[in-house]
Amino acid sequence: MGITDQIAADWHASLAALAWQVDLGVSDVVGDTPVSRYDLPETNRAGAMPPAAVTPRAAGPGAPSAAGPSTPPVFAQTPKVDAVAAAQTAAARATSLDALREAMAGFDLCDLKKGARNTVFCDGNPAARVLILGEAPGRDEDMEGRPFVGRAGQLLDRMFAAIGLARSNPDPAAALYITNVLPWRPPGNRDPEPGEVAMMRPFVERHIALADPDLIVVMGNTPLFALTGQKGIMRARGAWTTALGKPMLPMVHPAYLLRTPIAKRKAWADLLSLQARLRGNG
């Protein structure tokens, strides 16, 4: 074995030995002189290498003296991105619903996307007079990639079918267009956080502008908050108001009706109010 091969072998053996010690939990280099950690400054007690264990390197030409002050390293910091501003820019560039779908699918600043299977964009007839705005996908919606397909979605379909509206109807006058504030499922179906709602609001506004419905129905607290900045769906439900320049009717979420069947009577009153509005009587 030549001298070069011997050096290479010794280097790899040393590296393997060092890696083995790190795996065992070694965090400090042991010097020839014992060091009492109680006598060290606070910075070294936390685990920094004690001064006695440091072997100064030979100073080369132009190198600073070992006894002189050292300059701490400067690390470049990644500038923080304004997620809301980025969402506004991406949404404003979309000139069609298909372009908006692509913009949302390519938006990577919301952490919810990392744990989602699908970007849930919409369902129904985009030419419908009525746009339903929900909260966020659940487990079934995340798996299928469409909003309101679980038990709450099945109840929603039956509710609106009772007044002659369906997401599958090709006639805009009798159709529904359905979307959510958030296109990605929150973990554990938790409530969306205010920061997540604020981040996705530009996409919601652009979605409604491009679909251009006659009426908006918000289902639950989250879409009510997204469009009005207010909460309290039980107080707001059934009372027509305006959002984004369009008539808006707040209603309780179908999931709430599954838990509280007695509330279906008020939901039916809201549906009749919507039907009257569509007929020009409200």
Helix axes 194-211, 97-105, angle to 10 degrees: 160
Q: Is residue 110 part of a domain?
A: yes
CATH number, domain at 91?
Answer: 3.40.470.10
Which residues face 248 on adjacent strands? 216, 241
pLDDT value of position 65: 52
- Note whether 231 and 264 are within 8 A (CB): no
Whether residue 53 has pLDDT greater than 50: no
CB-count burial class (<10 Å; 0-12, 13-18, 19+) for 198: middle
Q: Is residue 130 part of a domain?
A: yes
pLDDT value of position 70: 59
Phi, psi of 247 (to 5 degrees): -60, 135
pLDDT value of position 212: 98
Q: What is the 8-class DSSP label of residue 219?
A: E
Q: Is residue 183 part of a domain?
A: yes
Q: Is residue 73 part of a domain?
A: no
Q: Is residue 98 part of a domain?
A: yes
Q: Is residue 4 part of a domain?
A: no
Using 50, 70 and 90 to split pLDDT, how confident is the model at 82? very high
Total count of domains within the chain: 1
| Reported pTM | 0.72
Q: What is the 8-class DSSP label of residue 218?
A: E
Whether residue 61 has pLDDT greater than 90: no
Q: Higher model confidence: residue 119 or residue 79?
A: 119
Whether residue 171 has pLDDT greater than 90: yes
Whether residue 173 has pLDDT greater than 70: yes
Q: Is residue 15 part of a domain?
A: no
Q: Is residue 149 part of a domain?
A: yes
Q: Which domain holds residue 269?
A: 83-278
Q: Chain-wide mean pLDDT for the chain?
A: 86
Question: Would you tell me how many other CB atoms lie within 10 Å of the CB of residue 225?
Answer: 21
Residue 270's nearest CA partner among 282, 255, 261 is 282
